[in-house]
Amino acid sequence: MYRERPAGFAGAVLWTSATTAGAAPTRVLPDGCLDLLWSSRSGLTVAGPDRTAHLSGGGPAERWVGLRLPPGTGPAVLGVPAVELRDRRVPLPELWGDRGVARLAERAEAAPAEVLTEIAARRLRAAGGPDPIGVRVAAALAAGASVTATAAEAGLDPRALHRRCRHLFGYGPKTLARILRMRRALALARAGTPLAEVAARCGYADQAHLTRDVRDLAGVPPTALLPR
């Protein structure tokens, strides 16, 4: 069971999930975001930005509450560059220390959603808000702008854009653009657009190119990710 809703501050998403023992793993697609997590088994954890799909679950029964931070916001909340967390799941005490997390962990046992939202909003305010470059870059690439056009719009040269993207998103702008294009394509396909048309509208060379790209990032072809 999976549910999500807006929470805390602009662009943040609070989600909950519960798995039963032995259930098939869930395929979590990359999205350029970092998540602050609470698990009934492992407590407070951070999920870094993935380059390929992450398989979650498949073990004992577990309850999850997560706060998905908007693209580019994670480093301001967590205090570390996104690239240091790429493709990783890290216990929160490793980032903030045992003493800094102990009381949060205690409170999270009773009210995980409230604790995750409160601490993220507080730390984001203390950091002066998200880096505005991150918001602009993510929006431009999500809309299909080229990396060159995105750099120009952000007032950065390509090398500076690459550095900022690694800090904010965990990978360079080309990888981020590829991930966001896949998500845009899947949204169209799930709304009923034929895959050949999806490929054309999203800038793939053809449907075969779309299929290869989705398989590389998600581990399965697009048809496996559509409603049956």
pLDDT in tens, 46-91: 999 999 999 987 778 899 999 999 989 999 999 999 999 999 999 9
List, in sequence order, every beta strand (DSSP E) within the chain: 2-6, 13-19, 26-28, 35-39, 43-47, 54-56, 62-68, 89-91
What pTM, to 2 d.p., does this model score? 0.93
Please give the C-alpha separations between residue 131 and each of 122, 136, 195, 214, in angstroms, as whole numbers: 16, 9, 35, 29
Q: What is the DSSP string of 60-75?
A: S-EEEEEEEPPTTTHH
Contact 157, 151 (CB under 8 A): yes
pLDDT in tens, 91-121: 999 999 998 899 999 999 999 999 999 999 9
Helix, coil or strand: residue 226:
coil
Residue among 202, 209, 162, 205 nearest 183 (CA): 202
Contact 100, 61 (CB under 8 A): no
pLDDT at 25: 83
pLDDT at 99: 87
Average per-residue pLDDT for the chain? 94
| CA atoms of 29 and 12, how far apart (whole Å) | 17
DSSP state of 129: S
| CA atoms of 65 and 1, how far apart (whole Å) | 12
Tokens of 115: 């604790």
